[in-house]
Amino acid sequence: MRWRGLAEVLMRAALRADSMRGEAAPPGQLHAAFPWPVAFFAAVCLLLVAVVYLCASLARAIAPAAGADPSAPFEHGPLARAAAAEHSVSDITGVEVPLEVASDAALADAILGALARHPERASVAVVNLDDGRWAAYDADRVQYAASTFKLAVLYEVERRVSAGELTYDDRVLLDEEAVGEDLGTLERVPVAEDGTVSVGEALDAMVTLSDNATAVALLRHVGPSAVDETLRAIGLTTMSVNTKELPATAADLALLMRAIVTGEGVGDAQREHMRDLLLGQTIRSGIPAALVAESRTGLAVGNKTGTWPDITNDVAFVESDAGTYVIAVTAEGDWNWALVSDVSRAVYDTMTAR
């Protein structure tokens, strides 16, 4: 400790002073050679130094460094690498655009400004698929995926259809376990007398109604391990459907939505099918709710939500005049749509600013 070093300096100074008088005092007799007023003053100084040092150490540990970039841990993450890759996005824009890696300061500031209005913790990841602008806040924080896991199931099923391993007309069984997951939406699903639904019907219910029974049936049909393997293949590092914890991050959800929107690994028909399903989502209280006025004049917003006690997630694509971008928000709080909508509005305004 620094204050101990200061004490040793004072002691040696006292001993040198005594030796100059020919009276070398042993350390145990320092009080005899060092007058008590001086010793008292030195002790007070040492105490003040110790207190100041302790406060400074605590302040450094608690407060972030000045000018700290909230997206810094994200700079070398999977979404940043995806944004940096020089690949074609001609399937969206018709023009090949090399995407750049730099995080967009204006987007980052807009996200921080929106989050500052809410006390709950949240994570955000945004990337423009046309020009590569991106920003993130705490995007690698692990959160329960809730119903956003259905995006992973959707992507895997569509990949299988594209590969010719499944068709939309194939039947899947809604067994007792799947039906047991129903939260009131199964009555709107066209279940046949034999307890089956077509793959196409199951996908529609799973995405647009966020139906649990069809999601469980499809997940079991394609296999959780296979879904996780596909997620790793497209760059997701944390999200998993092979565990009850259903972990996910905003970065992973944005990457997954990016793969869906660009049609990575699937045919054009499957990409359009996924897009249509997400546009038909009936739970629109988060990201789309902030853009209702724009949607009335042609703005396309497709999303998938996921809620649970104290968890509100939403991930979407937005086809704006400034290009198509994906946005993922995971927030604490029950049905915390106000936070999600505020972030959505701030991101849109910044993306489309001229």
Lowest-confidence segment of 46-60, 81-95, 182-196 by average pLDDT: 81-95
Provide the token pair at 169.
Answer: 């007309």
Q: Do 251 and 140 form a contact (C-beta atoms < 8 A)?
A: yes
For 306-349, how does the pLDDT look when each residue is reduced to its tens digit (9 = 90+)? 999 999 999 999 999 889 999 999 999 999 999 999 999 999 99
How much is the average pLDDT of 104-125? 96
Q: How far apart are CA 219 and CA 153, in angstroms?
A: 6
For 138-161, how does the pLDDT look when each residue is reduced to its tens digit (9 = 90+)? 999 999 999 999 999 999 999 999
Q: How far apart are CA 239 and CA 335, in angstroms?
A: 22
pLDDT of residue 205: 98
| Bridge partner residues of 247 (DSSP) | 144
Query: Does residue 52 surpass a pLDDT of 60?
Result: no
Domain ranges across the chain: 2-62, 74-351
CATH architecture for residues 74-351:
3-Layer(aba) Sandwich (3.40)
How much is the average pLDDT of 68-94? 41
Q: Do 89 and 130 form a contact (C-beta atoms < 8 A)?
A: yes
pLDDT of residue 103: 78
Provide the token pair at 128.
Answer: 């423009």
Query: Which DSSP category does 307 fall into?
Result: E
R_g (Cα) of the chain, nearest Å: 29
In the chain, what's the furthest Cα-to-Cα distance? 109
Query: Which DSSP category does 241 fall into?
Result: S
pLDDT of residue 46: 58
Q: Do 145 and 250 form a contact (C-beta atoms < 8 A)?
A: no
Provide the token pair at 220.
Answer: 């079991």
pLDDT of residue 81: 52
Q: How far apart are CA 233 and CA 282, in angstroms?
A: 30
User: CB under 8 Å to 179, separation ≥6 — which residues?
Assistant: 186, 213
pLDDT of residue 1: 42
Lowest-confidence segment of 17-26, 107-116, 141-150 by average pLDDT: 17-26
Q: How far apart are CA 287 and CA 316, in angstroms?
A: 7
Provide the token pair at 39.
Answer: 């010793």
Query: Does residue 251 surpass a pLDDT of 80?
Result: yes
Q: Please report where in the chains the tokens 């991050």 appear, as a residue.
A: 249
Whether the predicted model's global pTM rises above the 0.85 cut: no
Q: Do 240 and 230 form a contact (C-beta atoms < 8 A)?
A: no
Query: Does residue 64 surpass a pLDDT of 70?
Result: no
Q: How far apart are CA 151 and CA 257, in angstroms?
A: 8
Query: Which DSSP category does 87 fall into?
Result: -
Cα distances (Å, whole numbers) of residue 172 to 145, 241, 261 = 24, 19, 26
Query: Does residue 85 surpass a pLDDT of 50?
Result: no
Average pLDDT, the chain: 81
For residue 58, the number of C-alpha atoms closer than 13 Å in the C-beta half-sphere is 6
How much is the average pLDDT of 259-279? 98
pLDDT of residue 248: 98
